[in-house]
């Protein structure tokens, strides 16, 4: 059973999401709210496994919520909900701790699939996001423990040139799931390196 929280300010869309996921097997909507502030209140004691978060929210943004939940409930996976994946804020969310994103125009089956994938440790990554991740890692000088593996680097490189998951899996002779897993791990390392940087900054290094 995957417990889910929804934070979306568009009433119709939020209700549709809620309806969709409640009708899906092994999924349970813990809360469905229209602002980050309400979401934080809902996540007080127990947080859901997956949070579907809209980026542009009234008041505090979806990115703020991701940052908060990553700090307080590290086990919760965030799936950002956006109209366009070229938005800068998508990458900012991923950097803040999100592990994936869905486009709002994604059909119902796709949304459910995305949640399941995320739950199983796989992430989507567009070429746009991949490029930003590459530059983020080259910029950050991450410590050894969060350095990308050679395979991850390969995946990132291919993604950033615009290849689809299927093409990458064929080229590297790995399954699509493995590609998605690599992406998930890359995001994971991105958060860690981002947090490390934050800690370093805090200590004044």
Partner 1 sequence: MKYILGFFYLLLIFTTATAQNINTTDSLLQLVQKETDSKKKFDLLITLGGMYVFTNADSAVFFNAKALEIAKQLKVDSLLANSYYALASIEATRNNYEPAFSNCDSAFKYFSAAGNTLALAMVRNVQGGVYMASGRNELASQMYFDAIDYTKNDTASARILYTYHNLVILLNNMNKHNRALEYALRQYEWAKRLNIPDEVAYACSNIADTYMELKDSLNAKIYINRFIEAYKHSADPYLQVIGKNQMGMLKYIEKNYETSAQYFLQSLTLNNNLVDQQLGCITLLSLGRVYQKMNKYSMADSCFLKAIDISRELNIKEERKSAFEMLIANALVQKDYKKAYTYMESLQNIRDTLLNEKTEMAIADAEAKYKLGEKQQELELAHAERRIQTADASRQRTSKLIILFSAAGIFLMTMLLFNRYKLKKELEKHNMLLEERTRIGRELHDDLGGGLSTIRLMTEMIKDPQFGMNGSYLNNISFKSKELIQNMNEIVWSLNNGNDNIAGMIVYIRQYAGTFLEDANIVLSFEQQQTVPDIEVDGHTRRHIFLVIKEALHNIVKHSGADEVKIHISINDHFTISIADNGKGISDTQREVPGNGLRNMQQRIDVLKGRFHIIQQPGTTITFSIPCTSFYNKSVS
**In whole angstroms, how close is the CB of 129 to partner 1 at the nearest point?**
17
How many Cα atoms sit within 13 Å of 171 on the Cβ side? 13
Q: Which two tokens stand for residue 48?
A: 């859901």
Closest CA to 51 of 59, 60, 67, 174: 67
Q: For 43, which DSSP code?
A: T
Q: Which of 1, 12, 150, 173 binds partner 1 (CB under 8 A)?
A: 12
Closest CA to 123 of 78, 56, 68: 78
Q: Is 9 in the site for partner 1 (CB under 8 A)?
A: yes
Q: Is 134 in the site for partner 1 (CB under 8 A)?
A: no
Q: Is 113 in the site for partner 1 (CB under 8 A)?
A: no
Nearer to partner 1, 16 or 192 (CB): 16
Q: Is 13 in the site for partner 1 (CB under 8 A)?
A: yes
Q: Which two tokens stand for residue 112?
A: 């459910």
Q: Is 56 in the site for partner 1 (CB under 8 A)?
A: yes
Which ranges constitute the DSSP H helices of 23-87?
A: 36-42, 62-72
By CB under 8 A, name the binding residues for partner 1.
9-10, 12-13, 16-17, 19-20, 23, 34-35, 37-38, 56-59, 83-84, 87, 103-108, 111
């Amino acid at each position: 059973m995957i417990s889910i929280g929804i934070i979306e300010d568009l009433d119709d869309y939020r209700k549709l999401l809620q309806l969709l996921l409640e009708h899906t097997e092994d999924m349970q909507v813990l809360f469905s709210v229209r602002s980050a502030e309400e979401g934080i209140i809902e996540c007080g004691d127990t947080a859901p496994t997956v949070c579907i978060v809209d980026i542009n929210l009234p008041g505090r943004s979806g990115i703020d919520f991701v940052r908060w939940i990553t700090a307080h409930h590290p086990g919760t996976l965030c799936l950002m909900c956006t109209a366009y994946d070229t938005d800068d804020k998508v990458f900012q969310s991923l950097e803040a701790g999100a592990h994936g994103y869905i486009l709002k125009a994604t059909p119902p089956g796709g949304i459910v699939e995305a949640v399941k994938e995320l739950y199983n440790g796989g992430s989507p990554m567009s070429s746009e996001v991949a490029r930003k991740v590459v530059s983020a890692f080259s910029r950050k000088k991450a410590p050894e423990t969060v350095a990308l593996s050679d395979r991850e680097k390969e995946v990132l490189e291919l993604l950033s040139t615009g290849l689809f998951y299927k093409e990458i899996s064929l080229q590297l002779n790995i399954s699509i799931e493995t590609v998605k897993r690599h992406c998930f791990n890359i995001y994971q390392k991105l958060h860690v390196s981002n947090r490390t940087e934050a800690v370093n900054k805090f200590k004044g290094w």
